[in-house]
């Protein structure tokens, strides 16, 4: 399998996970598909580099406990959506 196949597999995996998450949460994916695609690309790049789907809007510190909180969907997104209507990276938005 070449790198493009691997990236496509990871993209499919994260899209499925995100769709599963929003189907059982009060949140939606951002209706702007360009934003969603950009964030997913960042998540896939982080998975390739660090081994996990770390949120692309957070700094990876190397501290497993801190970094674990930023695996998508990160622990911060609920508070951010409640406060701002969207999470910091704009992937998730308040549901209808």
Region of poorest pLDDT, from 1-5, 10-14, 23-27, 51-55? 1-5
Is residue 53 scored above 70 in pLDDT?
A: yes
Long-range contacts, 51-60 (Cβ 8 Å, 24+): 53/14, 53/17, 55/88, 55/89, 56/89, 57/88, 57/89, 58/88
The C-alpha atoms of residue 63 and residue 1 are separated, in whole angstroms, by 31
Identify the pLDDT of residue 92. Answer: 97
Q: How confident is the model at residue 5 (pLDDT cuts 50, 70, 90)?
A: confident
Identify the pLDDT of residue 2. Answer: 65
The CATH class given to the 3-94 domain equals: alpha beta
Q: What is the DSSP letter of 96?
A: -
């Amino acid at each position: 399998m070449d790198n493009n196949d691997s990236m496509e597999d990871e993209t499919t995996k994260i899209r499925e996970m995100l769709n599963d998450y929003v189907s059982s949460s009060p949140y939606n994916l951002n209706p702007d598909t360009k934003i969603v695609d950009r964030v997913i690309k960042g998540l896939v790049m982080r998975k390739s580099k660090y081994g996990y789907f770390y949120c692309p809007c957070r700094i990876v510190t190397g501290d497993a406990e801190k970094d674990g909180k930023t695996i998508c969907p990160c622990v911060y997104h609920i508070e951010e959506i409640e406060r701002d209507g969207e999470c910091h990276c704009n992937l998730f938005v308040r549901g209808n």
